[in-house]
Structure 1
Amino acid sequence: MQQYFILFITVVTVFFGSISCNSTDADCAQLSNKDCRTCLSLAGCAFCKNGKSCFLYDVSNVIAKKCAISDTQWGTCVGTFETWIIIVSVVGGILLIAILIAICCVCRKCKRCSIRKEEKRQAREQDVENRRAEERRAAGEIRSTERNRVADEIRMKYGILKEKENGTDYTRMD
């Protein structure tokens, strides 16, 4: 299996290594006064629709001097170079806007999630605080009851405890 893979890689390397992608201006000029497909079949060539001329297109010089950009066809015969620049710019702009919208949506969702987490954390803290307050109140009532019981025992010991009528310390004045 490994031998076949190495053989395949070797064949592909030899095949693609034999293809020459370096076109010269003379090679492109020979294809002038022919159709667009013939001119663009040679890598690196561009076709001018008005003069039906084929020339070497320099990628580093985006705006070709030999032909107006609105008449230059490069890479494909479907549209002019100007058309492709506009199409790619519009698609790129739409993709950029879509990415920004997606980022905004994700950020808003994350913000909502963090707000919910914060609200849950605050609710837990409030529950803990309420529980502690209830425990303090219950402990205070127990201490108060214990103090009253001890005070009543001391009053009873010294005979100063009043008997409560109707379960209260207050009596009705007549």
Structure 2
Amino acid sequence: MDYPVRKILPPSALCPLKSARWGVCWVNFEALIIAMSVVGGILLLGITVCCCCCCRKRKSQRQVDQEATASGGLVPHRILSFCRRAEMKSRHEEIRKKYGEARPSS
């Protein structure tokens, strides 16, 4: 008997779901529906777990960054920056003295 192409599931009057086949004779329609549901559920669960892990990681990273700024974790960086600026000023002063340029008024 030909498969009713216009419908996804064959009507129960034509044959019960347990004896329905799809495409080829060895593919049981009932088993195909169950297998596709299981695979779809596993994929959705995997995607959900990945999203939750990523969100949790971002949240914990934000908390670490906020704690670092609140506790003064950026202070050493500012100190290094200040020291570098002071070194550059002293180099510029040495160059100005070497070539006899007057210091510009600021």
Question: Relative to 1, partners in 2 of residues 1:125 and 1:117: Cα closer, same or farther, differing over 3 Å?
Answer: closer
CA contact (8 A) 2:4 2:10 kept: no
Aligned equivalents of 2:35 and 2:25: distance in 1?
A: 15
Query: What is the match of residue 58 of structure 1?
Result: 6
Aligned equivalents of 1:63 and 1:56: distance in 2?
A: 7
Deviation, 1:67, is 1.0
Instruction: Work out which of the residue numbers 75, 78, 86 in structure 1 matches 2:23.
Output: 75
Larger Rg: 1
Question: Relative to 1, partners in 2 of residues 1:115 and 1:76: Cα closer, same or farther, differing over 3 Å?
Answer: farther
Query: What is the match of residue 113 of structure 1?
Result: 61
Give me the CA root mean square deviation: 2.2
Aligned equivalents of 2:11 and 2:55: distance in 1?
A: 44
Deviation, 1:121, is 1.4
Gaps of 5+ in 1: 1-52, 128-174
Larger strand share, 1 or 2: 1
Letter in 1 for 2:66: E
Once the two structures are superposed, residues 100-123 of structure 1 have per-residue CA deviations (whole angstroms, 9 ceiling, x without a partner) of: 110111011111111111111112
Aligned equivalents of 1:83 and 1:126: distance in 2?
A: 60
Q: Percent identity?
A: 32
Query: What is the match of residue 39 of structure 1?
Result: none
Using the size of structure 1 for normalisation, the TM-score is 0.38
Letter in 1 for 2:27: G
Gaps of 5+ in 2: 76-106
Deviation, 1:125, is 7.8
Question: Relative to 1, partners in 2 of residues 1:79 and 1:67: Cα closer, same or farther, differing over 3 Å?
Answer: same
Is residue 122 from structure 1 mapped to residue 58 from structure 2 by the alignment?
Answer: no
Is residue 96 from structure 1 mapped to residue 44 from structure 2 by the alignment?
Answer: yes
Q: What stretches of structure 1 move > 6 A for 4+ residues in a row?
A: none
Query: What is the match of residue 95 of structure 2?
Result: none
Aligned equivalents of 1:109 and 1:95: distance in 2?
A: 21
Q: Which has the higher contact order (CA 8 A, sep 6+)?
A: 1
